[in-house]
């Protein structure tokens, strides 16, 4: 390998292997199957590398609900916008969220209008901002799944330890298993799931047992490089052709059976499960993570009383149907003509991992 190369990345981009795996898949695939890549990171990798060209017509890949920005509800964005209007509040957020259109505004527009909204790379940067601005209230907009929820939890524990009293979390954090179960019960037949590699690194395999045992769906935990994804598709096709559904792990270099116990403990200490709203899936019972009563003084939901109304997705936007595998971006009348990454109408066009944005970038 070239010494400038990136270890644990370059070897999984080997084009000879990609071709070999493609042959293998073509050789064994006879049944038409729908496979869902749950994670937006997988969607991105599939289109960036043109992996659909390496698959036979029998295999259809559907994008799933694993893009944090995309599944965050309109109501959450509206709630954040209201918080940003309060005097003395600094809003902090991961980058993509800032561009998601709310009902009448977006965080980006509010920022241009003078609201103090700052993008951070890590939730610990938000905590740092709180420490440096003790006379302000700093709210972090917590989005994402079992990957980013432990990070938000760690920040709250750190705030408690350092007695930082002006740091708050508005949690839209979500957990994957209830959403996957809702999809398995849904009206689109999904034969197998390419399961999210980094969520699984935290949770381990256990969370997928129900999908294979009760719902008879294939599950393969996958890494994010081209070789990982095609290897995972091959493993799923083998399961489905044989009619033996199980949970397998392609991403063994990162994902352990029990996940990351420390991250899980931190997450479970700070959060309790709650019902939450997903764009596309609606309210999914016990799929959300709310700040537990022990840490309620860090809960932006309780601390700030702002008006939050029910809100509706933008007219004509089918982002919700795309996130559940029912439709594809090309089915949307607004795609490309009116909705573009520069002028996004829906959340799926905003995030770099959103199906519409990925389609736009690599296909259109």
Binding site for ligand SF4 (CB under 6 A): 317-319, 322, 329, 332, 334-335, 339, 345-346, 348-349, 356
Dihedral of CA atoms 160, 146, 290, 344 in degrees, nearest 10, equals 110
Interaction of residue 198 with other proteins, rule CB under 8 A: yes
Per CB under 8 A, the list member of 39, 172, 235, 332 interacting with other proteins is: 39
Nearest residue to 71 via CA among 339, 311, 361, 282: 282
How wide is the angle at C-alpha 276 spanned by C-alphas 167 and 316, nearest 5°? 110
Identify which of residues 82 and 196 has a Cβ nearer to other proteins in the complex: 196
Identify which of residues 41 and 102 has a Cβ nearer to other proteins in the complex: 41
Residue 335, binding choice from ligand SF4, other proteins, none, Cβ under 5 to 8 Å by partner class: ligand SF4
Q: Helix 355-362 and helix 40-48: axis angle, to 10°?
A: 10
Closest approach, Cβ 280 to ligand SF4, in A, equals 10
Nearest residue to 158 via CA among 175, 174, 140: 140
Give the β-pairing of 247-249 and 218-222. parallel
Residue 349, binding choice from other proteins, ligand SF4, none, Cβ under 5 to 8 Å by partner class: ligand SF4
Q: Count residues binding other proteins (CB under 8 A).
A: 54
Per CB under 8 A, the list member of 68, 101, 178, 288 interacting with other proteins is: 68
For 321, counting Cβ atoms within 10 Å of its Cβ (0-12 exposed, 13-18 middle, 19+ buried), the class is middle
Per CB under 8 A, the list member of 55, 61, 221, 266 interacting with other proteins is: 266
Local structure of 267: helix, strand or coil: helix
Distances (CA, A) of 85 to 94, 117, 305, 314: 18, 10, 12, 22
Per CB under 8 A, the list member of 35, 41, 212, 290 interacting with other proteins is: 41
Residue 82, binding choice from other proteins, ligand SF4, none, Cβ under 5 to 8 Å by partner class: none
Closest approach, Cβ 253 to other proteins, in A, equals 4
Identify which of residues 226 and 329 has a Cβ nearer to ligand SF4 in the complex: 329
């Amino acid at each position: 390998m070239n010494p400038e190369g990136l270890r644990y990345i370059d070897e999984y981009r080997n084009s000879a292997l990609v071709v070999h795996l493609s042959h293998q898949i073509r050789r064994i695939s006879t049944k038409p199957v729908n496979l869902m890549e749950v994670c937006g990171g997988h969607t991105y990798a599939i289109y960036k590398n043109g992996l659909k060209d390496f698959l036979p017509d029998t295999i259809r890949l559907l994008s799933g609900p694993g893009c944090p920005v995309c599944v965050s509800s309109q109501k959450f964005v509206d709630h954040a916008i209201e918080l940003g209007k309060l005097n003395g509040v600094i809003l902090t957020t991961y980058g993509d969220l800032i561009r998601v259109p709310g009902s009448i505004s977006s965080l980006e527009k509010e920022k241009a209008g003078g609201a103090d909204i700052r993008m951070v790379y890590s939730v610990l940067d938000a905590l740092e901002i709180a420490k440096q601005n003790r006379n302000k209230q700093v709210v972090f907009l917590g989005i994402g799944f079992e990957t980013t929820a432990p990070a938000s939890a760690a920040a709250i524990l750190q705030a408690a330890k350092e007695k930082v009293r002006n740091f708050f979390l508005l949690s839209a954090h979500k957990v994957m298993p209830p959403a996957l179960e809702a999809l398995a019960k849904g009206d689109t037949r999904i034969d197998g799931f390419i399961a999210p590699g980094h969520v699984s690194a935290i949770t381990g395999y256990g969370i997928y047992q129900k999908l294979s045992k009760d719902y008879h769906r294939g599950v393969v935990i996958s890494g994010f490089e081209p070789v990982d994804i095609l290897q995972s598709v091959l493993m799923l096709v083998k399961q489905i052709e044989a009619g033996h559904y199980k949970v397998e792990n392609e991403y063994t270099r990162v994902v352990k059976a029990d996940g990351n116990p420390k991250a899980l403990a931190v997450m479970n200490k700070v959060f309790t499960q709650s019902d939450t709203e997903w764009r596309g899936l609606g309210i999914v019972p016990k799929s959300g993570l709310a700040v537990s009563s022990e840490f309620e003084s860090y809960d932006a939901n309780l601390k700030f009383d702002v008006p939050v109304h029910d809100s509706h997705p933008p007219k004509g936007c089918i982002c919700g149907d795309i996130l559940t595998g029912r439709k594809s971006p090309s089915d949307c009348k607004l795609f490309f003509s009116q909705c573009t990454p520069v002028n996004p109408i829906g959340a799926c066009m905003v995030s770099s991992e959103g199906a519409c944005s990925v389609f736009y970038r690599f296909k259109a």
